[in-house]
Amino acid sequence: MIPRLFCTGDDMESVTDYFGSLVFDDKVMKGSLSDEVYASLRKTIDEGAELDISVANAVASAMKDWAISKGATHYTHWFQPLTGITAEKHDSFLAAGDDGGVIMEFSGSELIKGEPDASSLPSGGLRATFEARGYTAWDPTSYAFIKGNTLCIPTAFCSYGGEALDQKTPLLRSMEALNRQALRILRLFGHDEVKRVLPSVGAEQEYFLLDRDMYKKRSDLVICGRTLFGSKPPKGQEMDDHYFGAIKPRVAEYMEDLNRELWKLGIMAKTEHNETAPSQHELAPVYSRANIAIDHNQLTMEIMGTVARRHGLVCLLHEKPFEGVNGSGKHNNWSISTDTGINLLAPGATPYENAQFLLFLCAVIKAVDDYQDLLRISVATAGNDHRLGANEAPPAIVSVFLGDELSGVLKAFENDEEYLGVDSETIKLGVDSLPDLPKDSTDRNRTSPFAFTGNKFEFRMPGSAGSLASANIMLNTAVAESLRIYADYLEKEEDLREALHGLIKHTVTEHGRILFSGNGYDESWIREATQERGLTNYPTTADCMPHLLDEKNIRMLSRHGVYSERELRSRCEILLENYSKTEMIEANTMIQMVRREILPAIAEFEESIARTALDKIRVVGDLSCEYEKTVISELSETADRIFRAVGELEEAADKENSALMNEEKAEIVRDSVIPGMRRLRDLCDRAETLVGSKNWPFPTYAGLLYSTD
């Protein structure tokens, strides 16, 4: 039997019995805290009220007792530095007792604040290397949980001077900015009962599963998380037979184990299925508050990898692990709701008459148009650059898809016309035994980067390996800015109805260029978007990242207190540096694989073919040896070209190493290193088709993509 990562209870117990069993959630808090303490803590969670130290002490004591009862011996402030993954430093509950023994302690001050050594975590110049001190601050809105023998406390992470060194701090700031501006709008509509507006997120996570033994035979997968070489297999995803196909037993066992571990942590993993590419799959959870959803997604990625190892598998989260087959994204389903249960992006039965909905819809449209560059920047990584614009992902151009009904509604506003509605309300299936299906007001457009899907927007550009924090920070803040502008205008107007009509019409007229319902993969769209509509197109991280520091972006993000200019400059440095480092690691891995594995394999195969030709001449007197001569000639020429190409790549890498500024390094990577890698790969992939399978030094795509069958 496969050992469990989190061991509590009988394997036969029902999901409802163990769901959330490793989470210090509301039910546990209510049962372990006094009514007064619980009420105070709920006020902090629900309304953002300041936390009293006496309440923190009571919560810490209850949290410690609960964690120890679950077998925990340590605690950690679990945070999200600018590395793309989570970080943790473990401390035990042990303290010296008066009698020479030990006692188990955990105070409110230890709960609220920690001091990890931050010297080796990215800061982008926010602090000097010798200034090691960083602070973690408890996020009481995200529940603590147990992982292994450790109580994990979700926290924010900041410098000695208060600058954000993590993803969570600006995320919480952006949520507060959105809340402030949305409440101003809701007051105009008479919703005085609403105390808080919060964004919710559902993160669809795509991933690949490979046999671990096969994976270990490829240094590019081990080091880079993706294949740097590999010719197209005879069968990939052409038949579309993997998508939504029956889940194979080995994968099904993995998914079952993964679900169990996630459910214990209160992560509501809901949907699982095969994705388009062989060995590619998807997991989708139920929506939750944005900061909790992002905490859960970070934890989900970690557990995916841990559970895979138990099954002799490896979980690949890279955005483009295989050339020529679908890459992996992480669709960010985003909506905003009130604490009274109103989804502000729900159109209702008659969206044309729902002015409140239309105003919030227009705020999103305006935000996406005004800050399309920030949304592109929010998903920019070296890995995602390989995916964006491919045939399974949206292009690097940001646009908004609304569907027929909402497009018609806004068009009617723009032209001062009566909205007549859509032609059909049901989908006729033409089979008597099958029911007619109600027709959704929006159809999914899988080529759209930012699509309205019923009562939410689906942002499809984020990559599978990264944190969703950045995308939601930019989205929350950009929408908050639209709402601020709207509120500033509407609060001065006497006739709200007339002012709303004019505002909606103005938004559609001014920002209609961002609305697009066609095929985002079509080459003609790129021309239309950039040349006719004036939309931005930043294919790579090196292209888009410097625009983070455009004056309009600094002004907007600092106005809402989400980022200071200093914090933005630090992030720009970090992200450009990560881009260059990632590609340089890949380039150096390619160079090593070519020199140590591929070129020797070609030479060995040439030698074996030459021996075959000599034997043929010696034994049967056949002097033509047409096959052998042709193969040796082509391989010899290819090997020479590979040898020259790897030398050129080394020169490009040396050029990057000699550059001093991160922006310059990124440009060299974009203009010299990546094209050099492309040329080298093409030559090596050609060689793979000529060398015998027994001589090729590592598993091919065919072996990898079908390794879990």
Let me know whether 290 and 382 are in one domain.
yes
Is residue 347 in a domain? Answer: yes
Vertex 345, ends 344 and 349: CA angle to 5°?
Answer: 100
Where does 517-567 show beta strands of DSSP type E?
Answer: none
Let me know whether 122 and 240 are in one domain.
no
Is residue 2 in a domain? Answer: no
> Of how many residues is the chain composed?
709
CB 634 within 8 A of CB 545: no
| Distance from C-alpha of 558 to C-alpha of 668, rounded to nearest angstrom | 31
Q: Which amino acid is at 149?
A: N
Residue at which a domain ends, from 123, 149, 166: 166
pLDDT of residue 10: 47
CB 214 within 8 A of CB 675: no
3-class DSSP assignment, residue 375 = helix
CATH number at residue 287: 3.30.590.10
pLDDT of residue 121: 73
State the pTM of this model.
Answer: 0.92
Is residue 24 in a domain? Answer: yes
Let me know whether 192 and 150 are in one domain.
no
Cα dihedral across residues 46, 47, 48, 50: positive or negative: negative
Is residue 136 in a domain? Answer: yes
Task: Identify the segments of the chain with pLDDT beneath 70.
Answer: 1-12, 96-104, 116-119, 122, 124-133, 238-240, 349-353, 389-393, 419-446, 619-623
3-class DSSP assignment, residue 583 = helix
CB 75 within 8 A of CB 66: no
CB 226 within 8 A of CB 316: yes
Residue at which a domain ends, from 142, 166, 190: 166
Is residue 10 in a domain? Answer: no
CATH number at residue 606: 1.20.120.1560
CA neighbor of 318 nearest in space, from 540, 577, 582, 571: 582
Q: Cα Rg for the chain, rounded, in angstroms?
A: 28
User: What is the residue range of 420's domain?
Assistant: 175-563
CB 165 within 8 A of CB 159: yes
Let me know whether 200 and 298 are in one domain.
yes
Is residue 9 in a domain? Answer: no
Residue at which a domain ends, from 131, 166, 201: 166
Give the single-character DSSP code of 349: S
Chain centroid to Cα 531, Å, comes to: 30
Let me know whether 61 and 85 are in one domain.
yes
Vertex 588, ends 584 and 589: CA angle to 5°?
Answer: 115
| Distance from C-alpha of 183 to C-alpha of 181, rounded to nearest angstrom | 5
Let me know whether 191 and 139 are in one domain.
no
Question: Helix count (H) and strand count (E) of the chain?
Answer: 25, 20
pLDDT of residue 458: 94
Name the H helices within 379-495: 382-387, 404-415, 469-490
Cα dihedral across residues 672, 673, 674, 675: positive or negative: positive
pLDDT of residue 665: 95
CB 399 within 8 A of CB 450: yes
Let me know whether 475 and 605 are in one domain.
no
What's the pLDDT tens digit per position in 75-123?
999 989 888 889 888 889 877 565 555 566 788 888 888 776 666 776 7
CA neighbor of 62 nearest in space, from 45, 96, 37, 91: 37
Q: What is the DSSP string of 620-678?
A: H-----HHHHHHHHHHHHHHHHHHHHHHHHHHHHHHHHH--SHHHHHHHIIIIIHHHHH
| Distance from C-alpha of 322 to C-alpha of 224, rounded to nearest angstrom | 12
Let me know whether 525 and 649 are in one domain.
no
CATH number at residue 128: 3.10.20.70
Is residue 569 in a domain? Answer: no
pLDDT of residue 407: 85
Name the H helices within 316-468: 355-370, 372-378, 382-387, 404-415
Question: Residue 286 phi/psi, 5° resolution?
Answer: -75, 150
CB 225 within 8 A of CB 496: no
Let me know whether 92 and 143 are in one domain.
yes
Q: Which amino acid is at 186?
A: L
3-class DSSP assignment, residue 584 = helix
Let me know whether 134 and 184 are in one domain.
no
Let me know whether 584 and 653 are in one domain.
yes
Q: Which helix (H) or strand (E) holds 77?
A: strand 74-78
Let me know whether 84 and 113 are in one domain.
yes
Name the H helices within 87-224: 108-112, 168-188, 212-216, 219-224
Within 13 A of 131's CA, how many CA atoms are on the CB side? Answer: 12
Is residue 1 in a domain? Answer: no
CB 296 within 8 A of CB 200: no
What's the total number of domains in the chain?
Answer: 3
Can you tell me which residue has the tokens 């949290």?
Answer: 63
Q: Which helix (H) or strand (E) holds 422?
A: none
3-class DSSP assignment, residue 37 = helix
pLDDT of residue 619: 67
